[in-house]
Structure formats: C-alpha cells, structure tokens
Amino acid sequence: MQGCLERKIPNHIEELRIENCQIDTQMTRELLLQFNGHCYLKRFGLVNAGVKDDMMDSLCEFATESSYLEEIDISYNRLSPFSFEKLMNVLATND
C-alpha cells in the first residue's frame, strides 16, 4: 500500500474499495489526504480493513470535504457505536 501512496493518484477514480486488508491508522490518513480535493471519488469502501475509532476524525473530515462522495462503506470494522454515530451525523449534515 505504501508504494501506491508514493505515486500520484489519478483524479478520474470514481470508486475505490479496500477489502480484507488491515491497514494502519497513519496509512488510512495518508490515503484520505491523497484523495481529498484531488479526485472525483464517489464511492469509497474500507470493508474489513481494520478501521478503528482513532480513524474516525479523518473519515469524518474526508466525508465533509469531499464534494463528490456519495457512498462510504465501512462494514465489518472495529468501530464503537459512538464513532459510527459521529460519522452518521456528519453524513446527515452533508448536502
């Protein structure tokens, strides 16, 4: 995954699904920073990817700042009800 982050991510990507891959918090933050404002990502999935509560601020920021994001899938991760509720509140306020 680190090699992918070292290259320029194409701006025409509309969907990215990362599944069954335990990526760490720092790598998730770097990935979200790469996409934020630089592409037309509409659907983003981190399914069974080891997403934890400490990543929620980065996910919420990404969801808030991404004007194209329509769908985010974070199923099968280790999130507390509080973190899930936080993301749901952010998504509910986005237009």
The confidence score (pLDDT) of residue 4 equals 53
Query: What is the SS3 assignment for 44?
Result: strand
Task: Kindly list the distances between the CA atom of residue 59 and the CA atoms of 25, 93, in Å, as whole numbers in the listed order.
Answer: 11, 14
Element (H, E) at 26: helix 25-35
Nearest residue to 38 (alpha-carbon basis) of 71, 73, 65, 78: 65
The confidence score (pLDDT) of residue 95 equals 61
Which of the pair, 1 or 24, is modelled with greater confidence?
Answer: 24
- Provide mean pLDDT across the span 3-7: 54
**pLDDT of 58-84, one tens digit each?**
889 888 888 888 899 999 988 899 998
**pLDDT above 90: residue 91:** no
